[in-house]
Amino acid sequence: MKRTLLLAAALFAASTAHAEPASFRLKPGPRSATHSFPVAELGIALRLAGTNATPGDGQSAFVTDHGVLFNASERYAAGLVLHGEFASKRLRLGPTLRVRRWLDPSSAVDVEVGTMIFGDESSGIDFRGPTPFVQASLSAGDFMVVHAQAQAHGVHLRGDYPHVGGLPPTGIDEDFNDLVVHCGVKLGTVPGRAATVVVAIAAGLVAIALSNFQD
């Protein structure tokens, strides 16, 4: 009996030691834990440099990054991520390529490069894309992410734009280009998954309420 128990324990230990990593896991991890994992980050970014071209380009913006990364090795992962920026009068969306360098099983440095291909501005302003950007971030256990981002900012100010001080006078069209630098904090993927669901539900309820109000 004792010999049988010892044999069973040895087989269990061997199977555990050589267990294959999951093909996909909701909690991010290196290659030894999973082949792939999601990215679900939401947070706030503050503008550190760049011109406030329009009232829609305030000091802060709500930022999101959602996608899937694939572990190429125990140290590196890469994948496609959809980046979004939302301010009171501005919306930007664009695809990015993100590369992750695992520092340990739970912390990592990410770099993503992409371009904004869709934008929506306030009345009298047209988004001029595609506009490239690059973001670098440090993730602590995928619970909290500190990030910095530099991006080209291009808009077309139409003559019907309600101009304010420092902008072209009414009736004159002009293109505006600048380099904008943001820095901020995001929820990592672990709490970000739940936060994404909450934000999506809240946005849907607001959209329904506004639709009913307009009717």
Indicate the pLDDT class of residue 54, thresholds 50, 70 and 90: low
Phi, psi dihedrals of residue 121, rounded to the nearest 5° = -115, 175
Instruction: Report if residue 57 sits inside a domain.
Output: yes
- pLDDT, residue 118, reads 81
Identify the domain containing residue 144 by its residue range.
26-214
What confidence tens digit (pLDDT) does each residue in 90-115 have?
A: 788 899 999 999 999 889 999 999 99
Residue 59 belongs to some domain of the structure: yes
Segment 156-162 shows an average pLDDT of 60
Is 103 within the bounds of a domain?
Answer: yes
Take residue 108 and report the two structure tokens written for it. Answer: 């990592």
Q: Looking at per-residue confidence, does 104 or 153 come out higher?
A: 104
Q: Give residue 3's pLDDT.
A: 61
Query: Would you say residue 138 lies in a domain?
Result: yes
| Domain count within the chain | 1
User: For position 9, what pLDDT does the model report?
Assistant: 53
CATH number, position 155: 2.40.160
Quick one: average pLDDT of 70-87? 93
* Residue 64 is assigned to a structural domain of this protein: yes
